[in-house]
Structure 1
Amino acid sequence: MATFQLQRTVPLPLDEAWRRLTTWPRHGDVVPLTRITVTTPPPAGEGTAFVARTGLGPLSFDDPMEVTVWRPPAGDSPGLCRLEKRGRAVRGWAEIEVRPGPGGRARVIWREEVRVRAVPAVFDAALARAGRLMFGRAVNRLLRQP
């Protein structure tokens, strides 16, 4: 299993950083070759399920996820969202934490543990580096775009 973490500090209120990161269809706008379909009715919260479909044609796979923890930030209290990845190809979890940072800014901490079917453990370090790079770019774009 590959595990990685990334952090960003942005000049946004906590609730706005949270909104930008947890509006699931937006992730499809910033992750290459990916489309997000939310499969449960609004509002978003614990129990929300969605599928990230990544790839081109027959070289695509589904990454179904479910929100298992949903604690939006309130005032200066941090927010935490945990996603469980439940697909055949990709398993694991991701956590998105939004907390107060220096100077009234929001600090975002993204943690992820991922297992990819048929990828041996010897490749975990490379998979973690790739995840940090890909999700780092996605988080940057999500936080920049209103």
Structure 2
Amino acid sequence: MSLFRVERRVPLAPEEVWRRLTDWPAHGRQVPLTRTRVLTPGPNGAGTRFTARTGIGPLSFDDPMEVVRWEPPAAGRPGTCRLEKSGRVVRGWVLVEVTETPGGGSRVVWTEELTVRGVPGAFDPVLARAGRLLFGRAVDGLLRDPRGGRGRSVR
């Protein structure tokens, strides 16, 4: 399994960061060759299921996910969302944490562990690096300020 982590600090309130990061269809607009479709009606929460379909034509695969933990940020409490990936090609989990930072703004930690069918474990470091790059760009896109600002990396 490949484990990677993306961290960002942004000047947005935790509630706004949460709203943007849990807008599942918006993820498809940030990841190349991907569309995301929510499968369950109603508002987001534990039990929400959605599928990200990535690829072109017959060279596509589905990445079905389910929200198994849903704790939006509230006064003085960080937000936590955990997704389980249960696809035939991609399996694993995602943990998204949103914390208010002193002086305003938010810190985001996106941690993901995944396996890709057919990819030997020897390639886990390469997969982790690619995941960090791809999802780092996706998180940046989701958090980008429409006026031109954006989150900055935390190393």
Q: TM-score range by the shorter chain?
A: over 0.9
Show the counterpart of 1:61: 61
Show the counterpart of 1:81: 81
Match for 1:82: what amino acid? R
Question: What's the offset of the Cα at 1:6?
Answer: 1.1
User: What pairs up with 1:61-140 in 2 under 5 angstroms?
Assistant: 61-140=61-140
Match for 2:120: what amino acid? P
Show the counterpart of 1:17: 17
Question: What's the offset of the Cα at 1:145?
Answer: 5.1
- C-alpha distance in 2, partners of 1:6/1:102? 20
Tell me, what secondary structure is at the counterpart of 1:84? strand
**1:113-140 deviation line (CA, Å, top 9, x unaligned):** 0000010000000000000000000000
What TM-score results when the alignment is normalised by the length of structure 2?
0.92
- C-alpha distance in 2, partners of 1:145/1:20? 11
Tell me, what secondary structure is at the counterpart of 2:103? helix
- Aligned positions, number: 146
C-alpha spacing 1:145/1:37, structure 2 compared with 1 (3 Å): farther
- C-alpha distance in 2, partners of 1:101/1:9? 8
Match for 1:3: what amino acid? L
Question: What's the offset of the Cα at 1:102?
Answer: 3.5
What TM-score results when the alignment is normalised by the length of structure 1?
0.98
Match for 2:75: what amino acid? G
C-alpha spacing 1:7/1:105, structure 2 compared with 1 (3 Å): same
Tell me, what secondary structure is at the counterpart of 1:130? helix
Match for 1:35: what amino acid? R
Match for 1:80: what amino acid? T
- C-alpha distance in 1, partners of 2:143/2:94? 17
Show the counterpart of 2:142: 142
- C-alpha distance in 2, partners of 1:99/1:76? 9
Percent of pairs identical after alignment?
64
* Large movers: runs of 4+ above 2 Å: none
Question: What's the offset of the Cα at 1:40?
Answer: 0.3
1:35 maps to 2:23: no
* Structure 2: runs of 5+ lacking an equivalent: 147-155
Tell me, what secondary structure is at the counterpart of 1:136? helix
* Structure 1: runs of 5+ lacking an equivalent: none
**Backbone CA RMSD of aligned residues:** 0.9
